[in-house]
Structure 1
Amino acid sequence: MADKFLIIDGSSLIHRAFFALPPLMNRQGVHTGAVYGLCNMLLKLMDEVQPRYMAVAFDKSRKTFRTEMYAAYKGQRKPTPSELSEQFPLAMRVLDSLGIHTLELDNYEADDIIGTFAVHAPQDVEVIIVTGDRDELQLVDKRTRVYYTKRGISDIQIFDEAEFAAAYEGLEPKQLIELKGLMGDTSDNIPGVPGVGPKTALKLIKEYGTVANVLANTDKVTAKALKAKLEANKESALLSQRLATICTDAPVDSSVANYELGPIKEEARTLLQDLEFRNMYERFAAVLGGEQHSFDLFGETVEQESAPVVLVKTAEQAENLFAALRQAKAAAPVVAQIAGTLPELYFTKAEILLEDTVYVLDAGSGCWPQFDQWLADGSCRKQTVDSKELYKCCLCRGVKAQGIADDAALAAYVADPGHSSYALADLSKRYLNNILSNDSENLAQLLVPLRQELAQREQVKLYEELELPLTAVLAQMEYYGITPDMELLSQLNEDMGFRINRLERLAEEQAGESFNLKSTKQLGVVLFEHLQLPVVKKTKTGYSTDVKVLEALEGKHPLIGTILEYRKLTKLQSTYLEGLKPLVNNKTGRIHTHFQQTVTVTGRLSSTDPNLQNIPTRTEEGKQIRRIFVPGTGFDCLMSCDYSQVELRILACIAQDRLLLESFRHGQDVHARTAAEVFGVPLEQVTSEMRGRAKAVNFGIVYGISDFGLANQLQVSRKEAAGYIENYFARYTGVKQYMESIVAKAKEQGYVSTLMGRRRYLPDINHSNFNLRSFAERTAINTPIQGTAADIMKRAMIAVAQALAQAGCRSRILLQVHDELVLEVVNDEKEQVAELVRTAMEGAASLEIPLLAEVNFGVNWAETK
């Protein structure tokens, strides 16, 4: 088998990676996304090609011998974004540390370096070029193939002579130069012959072979317009041909033997770790050779030597183990596997690390009662991952787990809330160089860097006093669940089905034909072809009929309103009326919602199965769905305790805005006061319409709303909306100063924080792309407010749970949604619980103005509002 020379067009691939992948930054604020994409591409290619030789070529500057020939060459291209340009030297450092040769050359492009290698490589070496630039297809020959990245960095088309001929109707690769001479190249600003496109150019080159022959035979061209164009642009065609020709004798060392791959360098480990490319060093080491590694080619872990494992099988062994654990001063890492469903969760296996030995309890050991006793012993500190599931399993077993000192998932989430997974396996790959075969060992190693990060970021208190104790509260809430009224659920589902069927018939009447309302394609044809409504947006598959398109068309035809109503009702039916039935637990008769603690970047809790936060709050349909949730057996009513305007109160304090603080201190209607300020009228003359618009401004400001967004929300002109915002900032100067200062601070440090120290990193805050930067700026404004509200609610939940337990109450927390807690209450505790909960919630934070919480009771959730 011939040796292979893998030649990479580094400039092309790093551009593709930058625009194909989401922007990434490490904790030092260095942009890394393009380099990360390039590294992944190289790993894939080296694994597939198995090259002996390798080089990566880069463009050095935009000034080359081609710009001397034609000053406008590539002149139309926009400046390289700073987020990308700063990654080129970084990419070259990474490649050098991996033992991969890089080249750049004054006055030449990467294409010319690649062309020189391709032509001068020995005949017994197979050349493989990887690029996103079609110009390099001209280099294809019997021993040279081009791997062309069509889209992004993963969709590759391999060109050999046969593939090129199939794509270009029988032309030879070198004739690509001739095509470019006639049709030009807009991406490189090569002029060609104006008015000659790809089809015409291909026809002419197939007939005459070269640009020179075409120009020598213009008298044979029968189309007068084409003939005139060719004769008037001879110099342009010949210049374009020269510009498109890759130089194959650039002054570089083209001796292939000097580009043989060597072993990975030790400095690569530190560099890749600093870039936070988890497991990337090990993956390259596996391909390139070097130190012992713990990953295979695809980054999967390979077991390394780890601590000895002892299986705990007898009662005597268990007694000795747990006695030693009670005597040990250090916290013990424990990882338990849990099976079953509520209310019958159980342990199937547990690993406990003690003095460099892993002790394992499995399903048949008979040692679980002693394990339960140890978990319930608060004097024995435990370290785990996903403590909520551990707490919940213990509740099912009648055990009150205590002494949980660490949860790796929560620690990682607090340190960096932007990841999609905090499972032990993913955390190990993210933080550890060497992954061991025992989960408890990995957990112990993980907690060292996680604790260091929390300390460096001054987030230990947030972690230990807020997130960790909250897991026990959430476990109880999930364990309790909430009771649905199944008879009402069925009735509402039937009623909703009737309304949906009626809307389907109405839609067909309005359209004047029968069609499937769920079919985007059929709906598009009805709206934009049959009814001739203006096309708002098209996709690759046809007309877009998404909600934004329909809202833009609202009022132009009655069918639009019908479709919007139909979609709203079908979604509510599938999610809550039909969707709730399979979520009812067969043994408890309750719905046990999952409260996710490590999902949102703001710190807010989210819920799944069902997602309670998506139930509409202001519609009749939402109210009907809330009627389904009722007190269970042994309880008399539900109680809701809801914060009043908590985010606006936080904004007033953070921004130190005089008018907002004054409104809350005097107990004024804050929206009416805002209306008075914005519309310039006395408070007593504020109308309900004015108040409604001021309310939209108040809440919109919290989320960094634009005049365009406010105009859409209020259905007013953009100019009018801009006037509202301008008037608001003219009066609420503290808010305006806060918004400006928090964005400036975010740009400087790369993150924003809540009052309790929770951070949100903003990698796009200095991005050159306006949309990405603007979104990051709005996020910077909102996160300290929304995140602080989330922290306050979490602290309130802990305080409420403790107050209820200390008072010996039977009443208990069931749900947390937005700024509201829902409890299940017995009648003889109503007044006591109302006072306990209100006091705990209002005392959850010491702000300059008081927090207010409103309590209501009802026979179902809807009646508590």
Structure 2
Amino acid sequence: MADKFLVIDGSSLIHRAFFALPPLMTKQGLHTGAVYGLCNMLLKLLGDLQPAYMAVAFDKSRKTFRTELYADYKGQRKPTPSELSEQFPLAMKVLDTMGIPTLELDNYEADDIIGTFAVHAPEDVEVIIVTGDRDELQLVDTRTKVYYTKRGISDIQIFDEAEFAANYEGLVPKQLIELKGLMGDASDNIPGVPGVGPKTALKLIKEYGDVETVLENIDKVSGKALKAKLADNKESALLSKKLATICTEAPVDTDIAKYALVPLREEARTLLQDLEFRNMYDRFASVLGGAQHSFDLFGETVEQESTPTEHVTLPAQAAQLFAALKACREAVPVAVTVSGQLPELYFSRAELLVEGKVYILDSFSSCWDKFDAWLADADCKKLTVDSKELYKCCLCRKVQAQGIVDDVALAAYLADPGHNSYALTDLSKRYLASTLPTDCENIAMLAVQLREQLKEYEQLALYEELELPLAPVLAKMELSGITPDMELLAQLNEDMTARIAQLEKQAMEQAGEEFNLKSPKQLGIILFERLQLPVIKKTKTGYSTDAKVLEALEGKHPLIATILEHRKLAKLQSTYLDGLKPLVNAKTGRIHTHFQQTVTVTGRLSSTDPNLQNIPTRTEEGKQIRRIFVPGAGYDYLMSCDYSQVELRILACIAQDELLLDAFRHGQDIHARTAAEVFGVPLAEVTHEMRSRAKAVNFGIVYGISDFGLAKQLDVGRKEAAGYIESYFARYTGVKKYMEDIVAKAREQGYVSTLMGRRRYLPDIRHSNFNLRSFAERTAINTPIQGTAADIMKKAMIDVERALEQAGCKSRILLQVHDELVLEVKEDERERVAELMRETMQAAASLEIPLFADVNFGKNWAETK
């Protein structure tokens, strides 16, 4: 068997790794994800191919002999992200330290180095090129193969002469440059012949063989327009062919002996340890040779008796492993790395802890089908972290994951919802005496400890019946996404730009001079020096012009209202009108919002990319933004299912306030009833203004509002606001008692709970600082109400998803915002789904007074309100 010379396109693969894998950073803030991905790929290649020789080629700069021929060559490419550019020298350092030769050349690309090796390697050596660049397919011949990474760094297509011919309709590899001469290459900005695409180019080259012969026979080419294009672009075609041709005479040393692989050197251990690449040295030592030791995530030596590991690459290994998993009666810890982009997520790594041994599947394993089957087996119990991402990746792979009985991130969030992060590394530091070498080992330890804690806190039911089953529902919603009306988005953005420009002009007129509205310094000078408005607050850099300052100045000059309106519109434009377009998935045409399950301390879900919670609900601008969201292909309506006054209903039950309970039992307008009680008038005589003020009191009470806050909200005097609150408590005595009791209980036990047992800890409830203590008291009042509403909504989402599935409906949940679910609905399912939604949402909790859900349809989200 011939020796193998493995030649890697380092520039191409590190790009693939960077965009395919999750970001990774050391404790010192050094980005390492692309280097880690490259190392994993090299490990797989070394293990599978066992080459005798190896080299990794990199591009040195964008200026090469090709840019001298054509200045715009690759000129359209965006600048390399700094998080990636800093990893190229790091990758070369890692490779050099491990004794793997790296090369780069002034005036040449990595392709040219690779091409030179392919041509000049000894005849008895098999050359294997690994790249994500199709240009290198032209190098394929009888002893040279190209391993082309089609997607990410794991999906590889092996090109030999037969594979090339099968993909290019019988052409030989060297004819790839002929194709590019005619059709160009947008990725490299090679012009080709304008208007000649791949099909036409392929037809011409199959008929005439090369570019020159095509140009010599233009008169024989069919089609008047094509003849003209070829005749007018002869020079462009010849130049494009030259640009696409890999140089095979680059000035590199082709002495094969200098690229022989050697055992790992000791300094490689230190570097890999510093980069926090756990076990990476041992893994390379197993294929290259060298003394082996293990290091954990934090760089500390692990004793040799640590848990043994095995990389599962062969079908026989997988068969044995998954047979053992099938027979395993205990829940198996599994940690996965999810890579790619929607809708093409995939697993690039998995760790499983089985009977004291860690089994690893990596990017190049051929055993992922068996892993999928195991994930889909409900009888095989699994422990993991961030189960939502696992579910979502499975959905992309057409796999229905089942049997996940623990998610340590969700368990930790329930146990203590006040932390900023529930990543596995942070949980391990927080809960474990010492961090274990592999993720799945840490998951195993955490699952036991957190289950005990949840059991002690009487939260296991909340965990098993609410948080765990919600994760697959959210995964499905994220994968579904929602369709934006791009034409309307563009029009609204144009209109908003005009409105903002008009406000800027108005501001200049009101100020009496031109200034930059976005400059706090310039605005401060206008407000407090030119207009002589009272200074509210100063900072180290000058006058403060933050929102609180401007709100305090409202009414003192017309410019203040203009600035506030300008800021509001500018924020809406940047967040939603400008911000939505980059979020549209190129493959699905939809926006895939991320729903965060472990962020808020109240238990509510939050959303990012975009944040749907912040779209104004009562303004015309908010309505216009909601018009952007429409039903997608195959659906006819959006449907909004909104709980009506759910927090006030919960307050009535928790407080056992008879007036509130009576109003809800009799289906009265709760705000009108409150107005009648507070203002002492019959229900029939309540005016619109009375109702509006009573509504502010109702919702303000839920959030522990003060007379100062209510006065500001209603634009009345503080004394008048205090009178409203006093009248409210005089009538609604149950609410007043609840507020007093819950604060006292929180002060006694240090936390408050929802009706379903969700806790929120209040460390400042006994604080000597009045402001901190007051905030904790308001939080104690609100959390049982808002948190219970969140729990009810989560239960409704789980029940609705199950009901839709059981009914065989195609209609599906897309969004959850506050107390509302948004669905995509088919015409023939409309009435059935509406009834199903009402019944299911209203049955999500059994309260003393019934829940009520409003259901409305529309051709966009705004129409459902």
Distance 1:316 1:572, change over 3 A: same
Q: Does 2:486 correspond to 1:469?
A: no
Q: Shift of the alpha carbon at 1:378?
A: 0.7
Contact 1:642 1:854 in 2 (8 A): yes
State the SS of the aligned residue for 2:495.
helix
- Matched residue, 1:448: 448
Q: Does 2:371 correspond to 1:366?
A: no
Q: Partner amino acid for 2:755?
A: L
Q: Shift of the alpha carbon at 1:301?
A: 5.7
- Matched residue, 2:337: 337
- Matched residue, 2:639: 639
CA distance in 1, matches of 2:471, 2:767: 37
Q: Does 2:822 correspond to 1:822?
A: yes
CA distance in 2, matches of 1:756, 1:337: 33
- Matched residue, 2:669: 669
- Matched residue, 2:45: none
- Matched residue, 1:191: none
Q: Shift of the alpha carbon at 1:617?
A: 0.1
- Matched residue, 2:716: 716
Q: Does 2:595 correspond to 1:595?
A: yes
Contact 1:322 1:370 in 2 (8 A): yes
- Matched residue, 1:178: none
- Matched residue, 1:12: none
Q: Shift of the alpha carbon at 1:541?
A: 1.1
- Matched residue, 2:410: 410
CA distance in 1, matches of 2:456, 2:669: 42
Q: Partner amino acid for 1:548?
A: K
- Matched residue, 2:840: 840
- Matched residue, 1:854: 854
CA distance in 2, matches of 1:405, 1:863: 40
CA distance in 2, matches of 1:836, 1:682: 38
Q: Deviations over 1:69-116 (max 9, x none)?
A: xxxxxxxxxxxxxxxxxxxxxxxxxxxxxxxxxxxxxxxxxxxxxxxx
User: Within 5 A, what are the aligned runs for 1:59-78?
Assistant: none
User: Within 5 A, what are the aligned runs for 1:793-832?
Assistant: 793-832=793-832
- Matched residue, 2:764: 764
Q: Shift of the alpha carbon at 1:481?
A: 0.2
Q: Shift of the alpha carbon at 1:319?
A: 1.1
CA distance in 1, matches of 2:838, 2:335: 38
CA distance in 1, matches of 2:479, 2:498: 35
Q: Shift of the alpha carbon at 1:316?
A: 1.4
CA distance in 1, matches of 2:723, 2:613: 33
Q: Deviations over 1:428-458 (max 9, x none)?
A: 0101112111111111011111011100000
CA distance in 2, matches of 1:375, 1:704: 47
CA distance in 2, matches of 1:809, 1:378: 23
State the SS of the aligned residue for 1:461.
helix
State the SS of the aligned residue for 1:667.
coil
- Matched residue, 2:151: none
CA distance in 2, matches of 1:460, 1:826: 38
Runs of 4+ aligned structure 1 residues displaced above 4 Å come to: 298-305
- Matched residue, 1:681: 681
Q: Partner amino acid for 1:490?
A: A
- Matched residue, 2:215: none
Q: Partner amino acid for 1:803?
A: A
CA distance in 1, matches of 2:458, 2:326: 31
Contact 1:313 1:365 in 2 (8 A): yes
Q: Deviations over 1:685-744 (max 9, x none)?
A: 110000000000000000000000000000000000000000000000000000000000
State the SS of the aligned residue for 1:534.
coil
Contact 1:603 1:790 in 2 (8 A): yes
CA distance in 1, matches of 2:781, 2:664: 21
Contact 1:301 1:435 in 2 (8 A): no
TM-score by length of 1: 0.65
- Matched residue, 1:573: 573
CA distance in 2, matches of 1:692, 1:590: 38
State the SS of the aligned residue for 2:579.
coil
The Cα RMSD (Å) is 1.3
Q: Deviations over 1:804-857 (max 9, x none)?
A: 000110000000000000000000000111111111100000000000000000
CA distance in 2, matches of 1:295, 1:688: 70
Q: Partner amino acid for 1:669?
A: D
Q: Deviations over 1:568-618 (max 9, x none)?
A: 000000000000000000000000000000000000000000000000000
Distance 1:417 1:720, change over 3 A: same
Q: Shift of the alpha carbon at 1:310?
A: 1.1
- Matched residue, 2:435: 435
**Structure 2 gaps, min length 5:** 1-293
CA distance in 2, matches of 1:431, 1:413: 13
Q: Partner amino acid for 1:598?
A: T
CA distance in 1, matches of 2:636, 2:816: 19
- Matched residue, 1:525: 525
CA distance in 2, matches of 1:661, 1:607: 33
User: Within 5 A, what are the aligned runs for 1:490-501?
Assistant: 490-501=490-501
Q: Does 2:610 correspond to 1:621?
A: no
- Matched residue, 1:698: 698
- Matched residue, 2:605: 605
CA distance in 2, matches of 1:628, 1:717: 40
- Matched residue, 1:656: 656
CA distance in 2, matches of 1:420, 1:652: 33
TM-score by length of 2: 0.65
User: Within 5 A, what are the aligned runs for 1:154-233?
Assistant: none
CA distance in 2, matches of 1:653, 1:372: 46
- Matched residue, 2:781: 781
Q: Partner amino acid for 2:762?
A: L
CA distance in 1, matches of 2:550, 2:637: 42
Q: Partner amino acid for 2:395?
A: L
CA distance in 2, matches of 1:358, 1:612: 41
Contact 1:303 1:435 in 2 (8 A): no
CA distance in 2, matches of 1:577, 1:688: 34
Q: % of aligned pairs identical?
A: 77
Q: Deviations over 1:618-655 (max 9, x none)?
A: 00000000000000000001000000000000000000
CA distance in 2, matches of 1:470, 1:600: 15
Contact 1:306 1:438 in 2 (8 A): no
Q: Partner amino acid for 1:679?
A: F
CA distance in 1, matches of 2:511, 2:524: 12
Contact 1:496 1:573 in 2 (8 A): yes
Q: Deviations over 1:228-271 (max 9, x none)?
A: xxxxxxxxxxxxxxxxxxxxxxxxxxxxxxxxxxxxxxxxxxxx
Contact 1:626 1:860 in 2 (8 A): yes
Q: Shift of the alpha carbon at 1:548?
A: 1.2
State the SS of the aligned residue for 1:502.
helix
CA distance in 1, matches of 2:802, 2:441: 33
Q: Shift of the alpha carbon at 1:295?
A: 11
Q: Partner amino acid for 1:595?
A: F
Q: Does 2:536 correspond to 1:536?
A: yes
- Matched residue, 2:235: none
Q: Shift of the alpha carbon at 1:299?
A: 7.6
Q: Partner amino acid for 1:309?
A: T
User: Within 5 A, what are the aligned runs for 1:160-309?
Assistant: 303=302, 306-309=306-309
Q: Partner amino acid for 2:637?
A: C
Contact 1:643 1:853 in 2 (8 A): yes
Contact 2:332 2:381 in 1 (8 A): yes
CA distance in 2, matches of 1:651, 1:372: 46
CA distance in 2, matches of 1:521, 1:539: 11
CA distance in 2, matches of 1:623, 1:358: 53
Q: Shift of the alpha carbon at 1:306?
A: 2.5
Q: Shift of the alpha carbon at 1:302?
A: 5.3
State the SS of the aligned residue for 1:579.
helix
CA distance in 1, matches of 2:295, 2:748: 38
Contact 2:295 2:437 in 1 (8 A): no
CA distance in 1, matches of 2:652, 2:603: 20
Distance 1:541 1:827, change over 3 A: same
State the SS of the aligned residue for 1:310.
strand
CA distance in 1, matches of 2:689, 2:373: 62
CA distance in 2, matches of 1:302, 1:699: 57
Q: Partner amino acid for 1:748?
A: E
Q: Does 2:342 correspond to 1:347?
A: no
Q: Partner amino acid for 2:310?
A: V
